[in-house]
Amino acid sequence: MESQDDLQRFRPFLRALAEEQLYSGLRQKIDPSDLVQQTMLQAIESQSQFRGTTDAAKASWLRAILKNVMAGIGRHFHRDRRDVSREQGMGSGGSDPSEFGFEIAGNFSSPSHLLRQSEDRQQIEKLMSHLTHEQQQALVMRYWHDFSLEEISQKMNKSPDAVAGLLYRGMKVLREKFD
C-alpha cells in the first residue's frame, strides 16, 4: 500500500495538469490547488484500488482521478443557480468535460514515455516555481498549448506587449535557474 508521502511527490504533476486544463469561468470559482487537493484526498481513500507498480502507472491513475474530480466539479457548477453558463454563455447540461472548460490529455503511447514526460514535467515545475503566477500561466499557454500571443493576451486580458514581457522575463528566469 502506498504511503501518503509517496503520493505527495505527484502533487506538482497534478497541479500542472489542473493549471493547463482549467481555462473557463470555472477558474473564478475554483483554484487548481483545490482540484489537486481533492484528487489527493480521493487517491489516499482509494489506495487499495491501485494495482500498478511503476511511477508511470501511478501518474496515469492519478490523472484519471483528477479527470473525475474535474468532471464532478464541472457538473456541480452547472446545477441550478450555480450554473456558470449563465455567467459565461457556455452550453448547459451534458457530462462532457470539455463543456466545463476542461480538456484532459489522452494517454501516451507507452508507460516509459509517460514516465519520461512526468520526470520532465517535475523538473520544469521545480524551475517554474521561481516564476510569478502570471509568468507560469503565459508560459504554459505558449509552450504547452502553442497559443499565439494574441490568444494568450485575450485569455489573460493583457496587451500582447505585456504578454511578450511575461514570456521574456519568465524564460530569462528559467534559463538562469537551469544553468
The tens digit of pLDDT for each residue in 142-165 reads 877 888 889 999 989 999 999 999
* HSE-CB for 52 with a 13 A CA cutoff: 10
Same domain, 174 and 106: no
What's this model's pTM, rounded to 2 decimal places? 0.46
Q: Within this chain, do residues 103 and 143 fall inside the same structural domain, yes or no?
A: no
- When divided into structural domains, the chain yields a total of 2
Task: Indicate the residue among 91, 116, 141 that finishes a domain.
Answer: 116
Are 139 and 109 contained in the same domain? no
Transcribe 108-171 into DSSP letters: PS-HHHHHHHHHHHHHHHHHHTTS-HHHHHHHIIIIIS---HHHHHHHHT--HHHHHHHHHHHH
pLDDT tens-digit series, residues 105-118: 554 445 666 667 77
Helix (H) or strand (E) holding 36: helix 32-45
pLDDT tens across 44-97, in order? 888 888 888 888 888 888 888 988 888 887 777 666 554 445 554 444 444 455
Name the domain boundary from 116, 151, 171.
116
Domain with 109 in it:
4-116
CA 41 to chain centre: 17
**In this structure, are residues 176 and 144 in contact, taking their beta carbons and an 8 Å threshold?**
no
Q: Is residue 124 part of a domain?
A: no
Residues 110 and 134 in one domain: no
Has residue 142 been placed in a domain? yes
Cα separation, 179 vs 175, whole angstroms: 6
Q: How confident is the model at residue 169 (pLDDT cuts 50, 70, 90)?
A: very high
The answer to the question of residue 122 being in a domain is no
pLDDT score, position 144: 77
- Provide the pLDDT confidence category of residue 32 given band limits of 50, 70 and 90: confident
Domain boundary among 61, 93, 116: 116
Does residue 97 share a domain with residue 27? yes
Residue 160 lies in a domain: yes
121, 129 in Cβ contact below 8 A?
no
pLDDT of residue 108: 43
